Amino acid sequence: MITKEALQFLADLIANNNTEWMHANKKRYESYKKDYHSYIASILAEMKLLDPTLEPLEVKNCTFRINRDIRFSKDKSPYKTNMGVWFTQNKNKKNSPGYYIHYEKGMSFIAGGVWCPEPNELKLIRKEIEFFHDDLEEIVSDKTFKKEFKELTRDENNTLKKAPKDFDANHPAIEFLKLKSYTASQKIDDKLFTEPDFSKKIAQKLIALKPMNDFLRRALETEE
């Protein structure tokens, strides 16, 4: 679970998102970072029991820096006020399928899959769907997947209006082929993050994404 002290630090950071405050609260930040890493370790231990591909991961492979990249952003706040965790099935691959946990007051969620793959990776995924769409349809139709995540994420930013180049517009899985990212997500109540058995509960939810991640990993590891 996330400690109350870690959540209070994030709440205070929202109200004081500047370098002066951070420097003045360096000890609190160091304590927050320890809590963050402990939180990751507890979930990772549960996830490794359910998905053996995560075994090579260490806590350091699953963290995010608190500093924001503000080079191209209108918002110049220097620090992130959310807590993210990423468990990838292949730590040596830039955009390997994985599981994501996001704590942000009032906007917490869990997710998984592959977000914004590179063009060559996207082509590999679409090729896999072109020939083995029945496998993906079975995965997203599974009652456990549907209970937790309902369906793959679809919105106007994530979906082409027409068939992608070199793919048949009449393909039976055309709606899958139009996607530009292959993810699924579920909103989570903030209260869940502070429950003692949070790690077990969240692992049981996330593991519903494993068949989808396995399918995507298979696609990305297939040679053209």
Question: Quick check: 224 pLDDT over 90?
Answer: no
- pLDDT of 42-53, one tens digit each? 999 999 999 999
Read off φ and ψ for residue 127, nearest 5 degrees: -65, -40
Q: Which residue has the higher pLDDT, 21 or 155?
A: 21
User: Residue 185: CB partners within 8 Å, gap ≥ 6?
Assistant: 109, 110, 111, 112, 149, 153
Q: Report the pLDDT value the prediction gives residue 222, as an integer from 0 to 100.
A: 82
Counting residues of the chain whose pLDDT is more than 90, the rounded percentage is 90
By the 8 A CB rule, do 57 and 87 touch? yes
